[in-house]
């Protein structure tokens, strides 16, 4: 797991002056605000380390640092800013992933070497354009966490066309409220699984994870993606 060093290295590149967060009057943000410059996620303090060029506050904690360069680039590309409430940011992250990613059918074939090519299964899919449900879920989680929004990676089962499948989706905590989000199934379903206060009848939770065992937090930066990144896939 990478720590504060990577955040400090990227600050001069894509982070600007530290400011306090501004929120709208959305009901999900009605609780007392966090102290200026920090948020509490997963029971730990995340410090505001700066903001993107478009004005989105970025938060980090060395135990679970999601403020990686490719995550910040996605946040910038999505046009997120602190004039939006956390609820609006979560919805915008979902919309961004639905627009940018396509489902990686090739990675679902039995025997696919996911231990060698784990890009579609992790938030590294942000440097690609394909993901399976696991990639959608971790990309959504990483972007939310870097924005200071507590987000859980949920594993469980979903009923699709009469079949029960193992699946991954998300749960965000905003203003003390829990909202379920399934960006993978939202891709092609007109956002039928977007920010619901109750779990959908098609889903059954197995476990909620702060960090899933197959994660960009635990796996090295892939060489192939690094080559794409350095060749200009991301402008920062």
What is the rounded average pLDDT for all residues in the chain? 84
184 has pLDDT over 80 = yes
The residue ranges of every structural domain in the chain are 4-233
Cβ partners under 8 Å of residue 147, min gap 6:
56, 57, 58, 59, 75, 80, 86, 89, 93
Contact 138, 122 (CB under 8 A): yes
Neighbours of 99 (CB within 10 A): 9
Distances in Å between the Cα of 20 and the Cα atoms of 50, 76, 81, 148 are 10, 18, 12, 12
Instruction: Find the largest Cα–Cα distance for the chain.
Output: 52
pLDDT tens, residue by residue, 26-50: 444 444 455 569 999 999 999 999 9
**Assigned fold of 4-233:** C8orf32 fold (3.10.620)
pLDDT tens, residue by residue, 85-140: 999 999 999 999 999 999 999 999 999 988 889 999 999 999 999 999 999 999 99
Reported residue count of the chain is: 236
186 has pLDDT over 50 = yes
Distances in Å between the Cα of 163 and the Cα atoms of 78, 160, 187, 193 are 34, 5, 19, 18
């Amino acid at each position: 797991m990478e720590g504060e060093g990577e955040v400090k290295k990227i600050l001069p590149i894509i982070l600007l002056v530290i400011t306090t967060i501004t929120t709208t009057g959305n009901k999900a943000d009605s609780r007392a605000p966090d102290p200026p410059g920090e948020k509490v996620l997963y029971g730990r303090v995340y410090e505001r380390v700066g903001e993107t060029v478009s004005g989105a506050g970025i938060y980090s904690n060395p135990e679970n640092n999601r403020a990686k360069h490719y995550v910040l680039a996605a946040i910038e590309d999505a046009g997120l800013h602190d004039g939006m409430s956390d609820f609006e940011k979560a919805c915008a992250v979902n919309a961004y992933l639905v627009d940018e990613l396509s489902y990686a059918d090739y990675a679902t074939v039995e025997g696919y070497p996911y231990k060698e090519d784990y890009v579609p299964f992790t938030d590294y899919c942000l440097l690609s354009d394909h993901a399976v449900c696991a990639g959608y879920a971790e990309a959504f989680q990483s972007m939310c966490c870097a924005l200071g929004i507590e987000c859980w990676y949920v594993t469980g089962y979903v009923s699709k066309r009469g079949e029960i499948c193992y699946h991954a989706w998300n749960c965000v905590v905003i203003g003390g409220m829990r909202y379920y989000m399934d960006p993978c199934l939202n891709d092609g379903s007109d956002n039928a699984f977007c920010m619901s206060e109750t779990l959908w009848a098609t889903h059954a939770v197995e476990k909620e994870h702060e960090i899933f065992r197959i994660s960009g937090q635990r796996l090295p930066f892939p060489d192939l993606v690094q080559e794409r990144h350095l060749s200009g896939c991301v402008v920062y």
